[in-house]
Structure 1
Amino acid sequence: MLTRPDETTRLLGADEETAPAPAADPLTWTSPTDHGNPKNWTPSRKWTCAMLVSILTLIAPTAASMVVPAMPALARDLGIESKSFLQLTMSAFVLGWTAGPLILGPLSEVFGRATILHVGNVGFIVFNILCGLVRNQYAFLFLRFISGFCGSGPTSLGTGVLSDLWTSEERGISLAIYTVLPLLGPAAGPMVAGYIVQYYEWPYIFYLCSLVSFVVLVPGLVFMPETFGPVILRRRQAEKLRHAGASALSILAAQDAQLHTTKQRIRKGLARPFILLGTQPIIQVLAVYFGFYFGLYQLSIASYQAMWRDQYGMTPVQASANYVSISLGLLVGCQIAGTLNDKIYRALKRRNGDTDLPEYRVWLMIPAAILVPAGLLVFGWAAVAKAHWLLPNVGMATACVGLVMAFLCMQAYVMDSYPVYAASAQGALTVLRALAAFSMPIMGPSVIKAVGYGWFSTLLAAVAVTLGIGAPTVLYWKGAHLRAMSPYAAGQVNLER
């Protein structure tokens, strides 16, 4: 019969949990106050790690959307004639960015968060520069996909890092910052790129992103240590073996065993997101919910400038300025959700006998279910009526407040339900998220052309309210029951059994 593990057991790697660990086992923390445990680090050290990974999450999404104002120039220089193919210049990056967590997240649970984060950042810098150098449309799309994949590192690992550093009732503010920054990137990208393409050639968009990424990479290499408990403990074990004066033969045998174990961990780690998605109803519900909302956000970013150009006759620079409303909506939503999330969690925890439950995160999903469809309806029908430019901006900002609140609550729920394998669980969510983020911006313009902004927004609002009410209802009423039936949730680590 499965029992709820304590903090020490939860930090054991899946491959090590073959028998109850003896008291002196090196794969446990030495005490509840062990300074090697990231949850016992000083607040300044925790916030340094959290801010570094959060800032990195801003860069890749910015690179994704910066091509929107540059699309006419890209079509000219790369010989792109199809509008759908031109939209792939953004969607290819988003596909790589949202698919990356399927591989990078599980690998971080084998090699460590920091290692994968830095390697991915270097890859993003290199391939993003190459995007600015090529003049072949197919090579450009391939490089965009690879740069998006590499740039997904912070998105893949961020929730895992925050889960490593803080307990459930402490991580609300850091999670809010981490959640809003990658959403601010797509909104800020067109504003910056609109200025660049007016005065410079489009390759400078990619050079600028790589330069900023390099500037953040340097302090990251210095101040971002490993945060994943099982990896820290395995490294500590290897260090003890070396200092114990073991013979060369025993060290070689230990290295061979470690290599074999690492191969097993890689294989199991890469399969873990798909196992979670295929077996966990909680993940399945959240994957649909998260996927549609994220695809909706990417569609809004991709089509927003075209709406201002087509309906209001604005220039590219004027149209890009309206992305400020998206940024403001995200910031307001972050401020509301980041402040209330921990307060609600702590209050409900006290009311329920000091018991931790992921369902405390559900309550903020309710206003999100109202704000998203309401904002979409205001935006769509105001655009049809060509109302004052302020009204569509208010509608989009309102929808974005709801979106960021929903995103934050969903990620917090996953982190609370799967604390050890938070990165893998986040990777499982990206399957549908990748499909939605890739397809919705491509199909959206055709549907808008056929039915108009008003009816298209009405359709999206109907789906948004259905998922916005249905998913939290399932999680609230059935979440505890589903976790009780699952060997994977609430910190269980015998996923491979």
Structure 2
Amino acid sequence: MADSEAVDRLHPVEEIQTRLSRHSSHGAAMRREGALNQLSNTVRTMSNQDAESRYRTEEADNRVQLSGRSPCESLHDATGKKIISWEPNDKENPYNWSTKRKLFINISGMLTVTNSTMGSSLPSMAIPYMTQEWGVTSSTQKVLPISTYLIGYVFGPLLWGPLSEHIGRRNLTAVSLSLFTLWTLGCALSPNWPAFLIFRFLCGTFGSAPIAIVTGQLADIYEDPVARGRASRSKWHSLTLVDLVSFYFAMTVSGPLLAPIVSGFCSTTIGWRWSFWVALIYAGATLIPVLFFLPETYGPVLLTRRARKLRKLDPTARVYAAFELEEKDIKQVITKVLTRPIRMILTETIVTATCLYLALVYAIFYISFAAFPIVFQNLYGLSPGVTGLLFLPIFGGVIIALGTFFAWENFLRKSQERNRPWTKKEEYRRVPLAAIGGPIFAASLFWLGFLAKTEINYAIPSLAGIGFGIGFQLIFIGMLNYLTDAYEIFAASANAAASSARSFLAVVLPLATTPMFMQLGISGALGLLGGLSLLLSTIPFIFLWKGERIRAGSAFCIALKEKKLEMKRRAEEEMEKRNDATAAGSDSQEEKEVV
């Protein structure tokens, strides 16, 4: 009413201008809303197409019929192409490989991951010596040896994760590890500071490949071929896939904790360059088995090779794998494959929230490589080598976290056998571990911050590392396994999104470490980090509370759930048909024998 009276008092020309302005604003708002709806519909369509394409290939690979016909029947009818698939108990199917072969893949994967993560923190205790050699005095510059490596961690997984779902795992692993070894040699021989930073960036880019690929390799050889994403029992010591992934997470932590010990003792005795010579020796040792013995594990790629071999033996044969017949032009790769992790970060609430929390925890982990020298060298006067040894309590916490995880898995398994109602909820399988780890992680930061005083022996604040390791490991096990469960066949892309996001914050925050500690002091800086981590530790509790509703509103989760249920139903129907055919054949044979 007041607005109407105000307009009535305006000059006629002013009145027209006011009404046109309001109409224009309303129209702009409507256009923005329309654009957002169009973007949302586009993303949802791409998600549905992603899920449809991948599950159709999965069905074809595992001989699941699509509505009574081949999933590529139109191609078969039009061109006469025959689609091959895995036979029952096929020895070339990675799920049926021997225990020894799977064990080798496990060990090589863990070694390459350690190789990569050790490189991230390798210069931490060597920085004072290399900056002295090259005359670098800026506190911001001194953080760059770690930050430039982590910049590579930001961009690398966005490439390696989706590509491993597109062209396979083995060749990407071999090429990336070979180049990582070459760039590590470059770090050892660097003539100046800029060259060293460039080699560090290249090391991070190619060293990030195992972070994105290894979990996919484990899923390739241990997952159930129909119900991907579920932890199936493996032959190797009766461990589940989730058990093995948890060992993988432990290895991602052990590498950065081992590196400061190497650089701390090398720098003070035989020179900082020997830190990288040691890393080069390790990289070369892990490269040899990868180049000569690591097999391809990605099922669709293996079927494609089988089809090509058959066509080579018989040029007239029109035999193809379903994966070969997927659209693979450059436009499809760029718009769907490589953008998948970015779409997940921007549109998937689960991925966004998980990335935010893991990014902060991961950044604090790398802040510790600058914070420990401030606390234990500047405050307590310890040597770089001894300061490096004080990272060992964190590793002890990681071991305790693994024990906690196995205890939880045992409790969960028994509860599932008893059909407890809470075990039916997706979030209650993994997220409770992160809910436990979050407050422990925050408490460890408060412990270190408020007990690091000259009148208190350095061993007391160093014990905060135990809680730090427990919390860090439980948070990562819980949240990343939840991502794997939620996004199943696109778990590599979801994990790549999480890896890139956390690496981005791990690049930015450490740049502020020295100024933050100078302005706030040790207790103030660690208290701030502890408060932030405590605030974000509410995210797992929100997932436990509203996770089902969040997944119900997810374009990816809806599409994956629909396609998975549809595929499961078809798989059951196909199994019944095979059993009926087998029974009919047996009856026919018996009749012939009677006659």
Rate the CA distance shift 1:489–1:160 in 2: closer, same or farther, 3 A. Answer: farther
Given residue 304 of structure 2, which amino acid in structure 1 is its aligned partner?
A: R
State how far apart, in whole Å, the 2-side matches of 1:424 and 1:190 are: 31
Rate the CA distance shift 1:491–1:140 in 2: closer, same or farther, 3 A. Answer: farther
- Cα pair 2:377 2:383 within 8 Å, conserved: yes
State how far apart, in whole Å, the 1-side matches of 2:106 and 2:331 are: 30
Which residue number in structure 1 is paired with residue 5 of structure 2? none
State how far apart, in whole Å, the 1-side matches of 2:444 and 2:370 are: 17
Q: Does residue 482 of structure 1 match 2:538? A: no
State percent identity of aligned pairs.
Answer: 24
3-state SS, counterpart of residue 81 of structure 1: coil
3-state SS, counterpart of residue 140 of structure 2: helix
Query: Equivalences for 1:340-419 in 2 at 5 Å?
Result: 340-350=407-417, 351=419, 357=426, 359-384=428-453, 386-419=455-488
Match of 1:287 among 355, 358, 363: 355
Rate the CA distance shift 1:421–1:236 in 2: closer, same or farther, 3 A. Answer: farther
Rate the CA distance shift 1:385–1:204 in 2: closer, same or farther, 3 A. Answer: closer
User: Rg bigger for which structure?
Assistant: 2
- Shift, 1:79, TM fit: 2.9
- Cα pair 1:62 1:188 within 8 Å, conserved: yes
- Shift, 1:126, TM fit: 0.3
- Shift, 1:34, TM fit: 3.7
Q: Does residue 191 of structure 1 match 2:261? A: yes
Q: Does residue 109 of structure 1 match 2:179? A: no
- Cα pair 2:351 2:498 within 8 Å, conserved: yes
State how far apart, in whole Å, the 1-side matches of 2:450 and 2:557 are: 43
Rate the CA distance shift 1:376–1:13 in 2: closer, same or farther, 3 A. Answer: farther
- Shift, 1:272, TM fit: 1.0
Which residue number in structure 1 is paired with residue 129 of structure 2? 73
Which residue number in structure 2 is paired with residue 446 of structure 1? 515
State how far apart, in whole Å, the 2-side matches of 1:208 and 1:352 are: 51
- Cα pair 2:379 2:454 within 8 Å, conserved: no
- Cα pair 1:488 1:494 within 8 Å, conserved: no
Instruction: State the Cα deviation string for residues 379-431 of structure 1 (Å, max 9, x = none).
Output: 11111454122211111221111101111111211111122122111111123
Given residue 200 of structure 2, which amino acid in structure 1 is its aligned partner?
A: R
Given residue 239 of structure 1, which amino acid in structure 2 is its aligned partner?
A: K
Instruction: State the Cα deviation string for residues 443-496 of structure 1 (Å, max 9, x = none).
Output: 12211111111122222112212211x21123223333333443423883999x
After superposition, the CA RMSD in angstroms is: 3.2
3-state SS, counterpart of residue 292 of structure 1: helix
3-state SS, counterpart of residue 488 of structure 2: coil
TM-score when normalising by structure 1? 0.88
- Shift, 1:221, TM fit: 2.7
- Shift, 1:298, TM fit: 0.9
Rate the CA distance shift 1:56–1:35 in 2: closer, same or farther, 3 A. Answer: same
- Shift, 1:299, TM fit: 0.8
Given residue 189 of structure 1, which amino acid in structure 2 is its aligned partner?
A: A
Given residue 206 of structure 1, which amino acid in structure 2 is its aligned partner?
A: F
Which residue number in structure 1 is paired with residue 393 of structure 2? 325
Given residue 453 of structure 1, which amino acid in structure 2 is its aligned partner?
A: I
Which residue number in structure 1 is paired with residue 246 of structure 2? 176
State how far apart, in whole Å, the 2-side matches of 1:361 and 1:467 are: 17
State how far apart, in whole Å, the 1-side matches of 2:214 and 2:408 are: 18
Query: Equivalences for 1:128-147 in 2 at 5 Å?
Result: 128-147=184-203
TM-score when normalising by structure 2? 0.74
- Shift, 1:21, TM fit: 8.7
Given residue 157 of structure 1, which amino acid in structure 2 is its aligned partner?
A: I
Instruction: State the Cα deviation string for residues 93-117 of structure 1 (Å, max 9, x = none).
Output: 1221343111111111112111111
Rate the CA distance shift 1:29–1:370 in 2: closer, same or farther, 3 A. Answer: farther
- Shift, 1:357, TM fit: 2.9
Which residue number in structure 1 is paired with residue 36 of structure 2? none
Rate the CA distance shift 1:490–1:184 in 2: closer, same or farther, 3 A. Answer: farther
Which residue number in structure 1 is paired with residue 9 of structure 2? none
- Shift, 1:322, TM fit: 1.2
Which residue number in structure 2 is paired with residue 261 of structure 1? 328
Deviates more, 1:431-440 or 1:237-246: 237-246
Given residue 446 of structure 1, which amino acid in structure 2 is its aligned partner?
A: P
Rate the CA distance shift 1:36–1:347 in 2: closer, same or farther, 3 A. Answer: farther
Q: Does residue 277 of structure 1 match 2:345? A: yes
Which residue number in structure 2 is paired with residue 11 of structure 1? 58
Instruction: State the Cα deviation string for residues 340-367 of structure 1 (Å, max 9, x = none).
Output: 3532443454425885835410111122
Match of 1:297 among 365, 373, 380: 365
- Cα pair 2:150 2:504 within 8 Å, conserved: no
Q: Does residue 437 of structure 1 match 2:506? A: yes
- Cα pair 1:164 1:228 within 8 Å, conserved: yes
Match of 1:55 among 111, 117, 135: 111
- Cα pair 1:114 1:226 within 8 Å, conserved: yes
State how far apart, in whole Å, the 2-side matches of 1:100 and 1:33 are: 36
3-state SS, counterpart of residue 11 of structure 1: helix
Match of 1:93 among 149, 156, 159: 149
- Cα pair 1:69 1:197 within 8 Å, conserved: yes
Structure 2: runs of 5+ lacking an equivalent: 1-44, 73-81, 224-229, 232-239, 564-595
Rate the CA distance shift 1:355–1:30 in 2: closer, same or farther, 3 A. Answer: farther
- Cα pair 2:86 2:93 within 8 Å, conserved: no
- Cα pair 1:66 1:205 within 8 Å, conserved: yes
Which residue number in structure 1 is paired with residue 13 of structure 2? none
- Cα pair 2:148 2:507 within 8 Å, conserved: yes
Given residue 288 of structure 1, which amino acid in structure 2 is its aligned partner?
A: L
Which residue number in structure 2 is paired with residue 39 of structure 1? 95
Rate the CA distance shift 1:24–1:261 in 2: closer, same or farther, 3 A. Answer: closer
Higher relative contact order, chain-length normalized (CA < 8 Å, sep 6+): 1
Structure 1: runs of 5+ lacking an equivalent: none
State how far apart, in whole Å, the 2-side matches of 1:377 and 1:476 are: 26
Given residue 222 of structure 2, which amino acid in structure 1 is its aligned partner?
A: W
State how far apart, in whole Å, the 2-side matches of 1:127 and 1:332 are: 35
Which residue number in structure 1 is paired with residue 176 of structure 2? 120
State how far apart, in whole Å, the 2-side matches of 1:215 and 1:46 are: 20
Rate the CA distance shift 1:82–1:204 in 2: closer, same or farther, 3 A. Answer: same
- Cα pair 1:188 1:327 within 8 Å, conserved: no
Which residue number in structure 1 is paired with residue 271 of structure 2? 201
3-state SS, counterpart of residue 328 of structure 2: helix
State how far apart, in whole Å, the 2-side matches of 1:217 and 1:391 are: 40
Rate the CA distance shift 1:435–1:336 in 2: closer, same or farther, 3 A. Answer: same
Q: Does residue 466 of structure 1 match 2:535? A: yes
State how far apart, in whole Å, the 2-side matches of 1:487 and 1:349 are: 29
- Shift, 1:285, TM fit: 1.0
Instruction: State the Cα deviation string for residues 307-327 of structure 1 (Å, max 9, x = none).
Output: 101110112222222122222
Rate the CA distance shift 1:112–1:12 in 2: closer, same or farther, 3 A. Answer: farther
State how far apart, in whole Å, the 2-side matches of 1:108 and 1:386 are: 53
Rate the CA distance shift 1:99–1:334 in 2: closer, same or farther, 3 A. Answer: farther
- Cα pair 2:116 2:208 within 8 Å, conserved: yes
